[in-house]
Structure 1
Amino acid sequence: MRWALKASPVDRGRAGSKHHLITDGHGTPLAVLVTGGNRNDVAQLLPYRDVIPPVRGRVGRPRRKPDSLFADHGYDHDSYSNQVHERGIVPAIARRGTRHGTGLGTYRWGIEWTIALLHGFRRLRIRWERRADIHEAFLKLACCLITHRQLRSLC
């Protein structure tokens, strides 16, 4: 009897993609990034934080950075949290190994809601494109549609 050696289906080296998303407090997408499915989340924290566009607010200079950063336990690492804190942003990142229900969900509902809306688009839920730039274009188009729907509901 012969046994064929195959890659384990639970192996972390699998193909696929992850959607990293930054939103405001109401769930409006500000920046989006696509990385490989085998990449660590925390490695994308600092470069991705620099992608946030200036936010208009009161008259004067636009805000260049947020006051606080809420993230799930995939972004939990002490050195990265310290680097975020050094940039003047208060990190509120869920700790690994803690039970669900730490209270961050009351602040993270906007991002979870936006991710659910993104995965409502079938083309983003299952990645059909081989090229990352095409998939990222569809992801940005979906973010534009979500933002348009939010603005339309305000009017």
Structure 2
Amino acid sequence: MDHGVVVRRHELTDQDGELLAPLIPRAATGRPRVEDRQVVNGMVYKIRTGISWRDLPERHGPWQTVYTRFRRYALDGVFTRALRQIQARADAAGDIDWLMQIDSTIVRAHQHAATTGRKGESAGRTNRTIYALGRSRGGLTTKVHLACDGKGRPLAILVTPGRRHDSTCARILLERVPVPRGGLGRPRCRPGQVIADKAYSSRGFRTYLRRRGIAHTVPEKADQQRHRLNRGRRGGRPPGFDRQTYRRRNAIERCFNRLKGFHGIATRYDKTATSYEAAVTPASFLLRARSV
């Protein structure tokens, strides 16, 4: 990627370009291709503004090219590898606060994303596996599950239908956290502590964290507390809860606010879950890169 170019609003900086350049696949043969940075700028512009692919400014090249490469990068995991690489550099420099926080947010699906699939397909199975759409009173929604570090920088992302309960996705989300080491050694996948709200207060999730040796700060639900007290001694001791540590949970709320500054994330326009998650991932990469 070229250096010293004029950086327009909603485009990559030189630092972003240097981090992404080694990870972008290059065609060995074929016609001369549109410059990579120009195309990726089009992707970032689309995610930031939420406009249609067809409405991309001409300076980003043919919209079909930008869209085709976006889908290719999404399926190849280019943006995920970029996020992992910058996390590995941060971890090697001691710049990841492993006081992890997890939460989720609901995103409304635009009518362009409201695809029901082909005739003959099971609507439930299709929505869960391909589209990640769930129907609620407000219409079709998607839920973005997020794990971030203690400074509010994204670590892992999971996209599910909007009606999926947080506690059922907590384990899957944590298993997406591994941060590769810069040298030898296995990726780091165990945080120092996990902070979450009452939605994650389930016996199964607490047992999972204890088995992995992960400390956690999760408030107990009122009905769970009553049930434990009603059982007397058989109810066991109350789970540990540090109110002072729990106050730091606002970092993940700030992270969601920054992610939803991208209009293409605040409202879902992508039809497939793969494309929507691929939009959330480069946004997370940019938040991480620009916090260094």
User: TM-score, normalised on structure 2?
Assistant: 0.43
Q: Among residues 238, 253, 268, which one is paired with 1:112 in the alignment?
A: 253
Which of the residues 9, 12, 34 maps onto 2:137? 9
Q: Report the equivalent of 2:146.
A: 21
**C-alpha displacement of 1:55:** 6.1
Q: What is the CA–CA distance in structure 2 between the aligned matches of 1:8 and 1:40, rounded to whole Å?
A: 13
| Counterpart selection for 1:82 from 207, 224, 235 | 207
RMSD: 2.6
Letter in 1 for 2:203: D
**Higher helix fraction (1 or 2):** 2
Alignment of 1:91-130 (within 5 A): 91-97=216-222, 102-130=243-271
The one-character-per-residue Cα deviations of 1:83-102 (angstroms, maximum 9, x if unpaired) are: 1111110121133349xxx5
CA distance in structure 1 between the partners assigned to 2:191 and 2:283 by the alignment: 23
| Bigger-Rg structure (1/2) | 2
SS in 1 for 2:268: coil
Query: 2:140 is paired with a residue of what secondary structure?
Result: coil
Residue in 1 that maps onto 2:277: 136
The reply on whether 1:147 has 2:272 as its aligned counterpart is no
Q: State the one-letter code of the partner of 1:120.
A: G
Contact 1:55/1:62 (CA < 8 Å) preserved in 2? yes
Q: Secondary structure of 2:291's partner?
A: helix
Mapped to 1, the partners of 2:186 and 2:280 lie a distance apart of 30
Q: Helix, strand or coil: the match of 1:123?
A: helix
Q: Distance in 2 between matches of 1:134 and 1:123?
A: 11
C-alpha distance in 1 between matches for 2:186 and 2:136: 52
Specify the alignment match of 2:162 in structure 1: 37
Number of residue pairs the alignment of both structures matches: 138
* Structure 1: segments with no counterpart, 5+ residues: 1-6
Report if aligned partners of 2:146, 2:157 keep a CA contact under 8 Å in 1: yes
Matching residue of 1:4? none
**% identity of equivalent residues:** 31
**Structure 2, unaligned runs of 5 or more:** 1-134, 224-242
